[in-house]
Amino acid sequence: MMRLLTHRAQIFADVRTYWSGEATERVTGYKLEGKAAESNGIIHLLNSGAACLDASGVCTDENGNATMKKWWEVTEEDIKKMTEATVWCEAGQDNFRGGGFSSHYTTKAEMPCTMIRMNLVKGLGPVLQIAEGWTVNLPDEVSDTLMERTNPTWPCTWFAPRCDGKDGSPFKTAYEVMMNWGANHGAISYGHIGADLITMCSMLRIPVCMHNVPADDIYRPAAWNAFGMDKEGQDYRACAAYGPMYK
C-alpha cells in the first residue's frame, strides 16, 4: 500500500525495544537530543536479517538532505553508496539455523518517516495505526552499545515518533506509542504521509484507530460529519455503515 502511494522502498522492521532518555544515558553516558529528547526516548526498529538498503540514509536529494528516493530516481552512485554502507555478517545460528549472511547497517541520518501497522480484528476487520516521526542518528559508540543488547548483525533504525506529552494519549512519549502498537512489526516509509493514508483509508472504508497526524492536515469525506462529533468515532461508524470498498 505505501509503496504504491510513495513509489519508494519501505522499511519492514520489528518494533523491538524502547530506550528512554534515562536508560540511554545510564547505559551509554549519552543524553538524547533533538527529536529523541522531544519524544522522551527512541524506538529500536530492527529487522531479523534484511531491510531495504535505502534506509541506510546515505542518499541525498538535490539540496543535500538525506532521503529515500523514488525508485526511478535511484542512480548507480546511490546504489554504490548504499552497498558500501552495508556489511554482511554471518547469520546467528539461534535465528538462522541454516546459516547464511545477514545485512547490517545503521540509519545514519535524521529523516522524516511514517510507521504504519494494519491489524485484523475479529468482528471488526482491518484497522490502521499511523505514527509519524523521524529517524534518529545516534553517535556510533552509543548506537553500537545499544545494539549489543539485541543483535548487532541486523539492520538498525532508531525512531522518534512525534509526541504530544498528554496524559492518556497513545502519543504521550515514544513508550506509549510502542505500548499501544498492535504487535511487534511495522512498515516504515520516508516522509510524513499520514494524512494521505487517512484519506485513502476513508476511500477503502478502513478505520484508523491510532494516529498523530495534525488535525489541519486531515481530509475525510464530508459525509463523515453525519456520524457524530468525535473524529475517530466518526471514522469507525462511517466505515461500518458504508461497508468495505473491496470484499
What are the pLDDT digits (tens) for 27-64?
Answer: 999 999 999 999 999 999 998 878 999 999 999 999 99
What's the predicted TM-score (pTM) here? 0.94
- Long-range contacts, stretch 124-128, CB < 8 angstroms, 24+ apart: 125/206, 125/244, 126/206, 127/206, 127/207, 127/208, 127/209, 128/197, 128/201, 128/206, 128/207, 128/208, 128/209
- β-strands 156-161, 101-104: how paired? unpaired
Cell representation of residue 205: 472504508
The Cα 16–Cα 156 span in angstroms is: 10
Q: Is the pLDDT of residue 244 over 80?
A: yes
Compute CA distances 208 → 59, 90, 127, 134, whole Å. 32, 40, 6, 21
The boundaries of the domain holding residue 18 are 2-242
**pLDDT tens digits, 70-123:** 999 999 999 999 999 999 988 777 777 677 788 999 999 999 999 999 999 999
**pLDDT, tens digit (0-9, with 9 covering 90-100), for 174-197:** 999 999 999 999 999 999 999 999
Burial 194-214 (b: 16+ CB within 10 A, else e): bbbbbebbbeebbbbbbbbbe
pLDDT (tens digit per residue) in 112-144 = 999 999 999 999 999 999 999 999 999 999 999
Length of the chain equals 247
User: Which residues sit opposite 88 in a β-bridge?
Assistant: 103
Phi and psi, residue 236, nearest 5°? -60, -45
Answer for the pair 107, 56: CB distance below 8 angstroms, yes or no.
yes
Residue 54 lies in a domain: yes
**pLDDT one-digit tens code per residue, 138-166:** 999 999 999 999 888 999 999 999 999 99
C-alpha cell at 32: 538524547
- 247 in a structural domain: no
Strands (E), the chain: 11-19, 42-46, 87-90, 101-104, 112-121, 125-136, 156-161, 185-190, 208-210
Residue 133 lies in a domain: yes
In a domain? residue 98: yes
What is the rounded CA–CA span in Å between residue 112 and residue 220? 23
DSSP for residue 106: B
Q: Is the pLDDT of residue 247 over 90?
A: no
| CATH number of domain containing 38 | 3.20.14.10
Answer yes or no: is 106 within a domain: yes
Name the helix (H) or strand (E) containing 211.
none
* In a domain? residue 231: yes
Average pLDDT in the chain: 94
pLDDT > 90 fraction of the chain, expressed in percent and rounded: 87
Confirm whether 135 is domain-assigned: yes
The tally of domains found in the chain comes to 1
Q: Using the predicted structure, report yes or no on whether residue 3 has a pLDDT greater than 80.
A: no
| Cβ partners under 8 Å of residue 29, min gap 6 | none
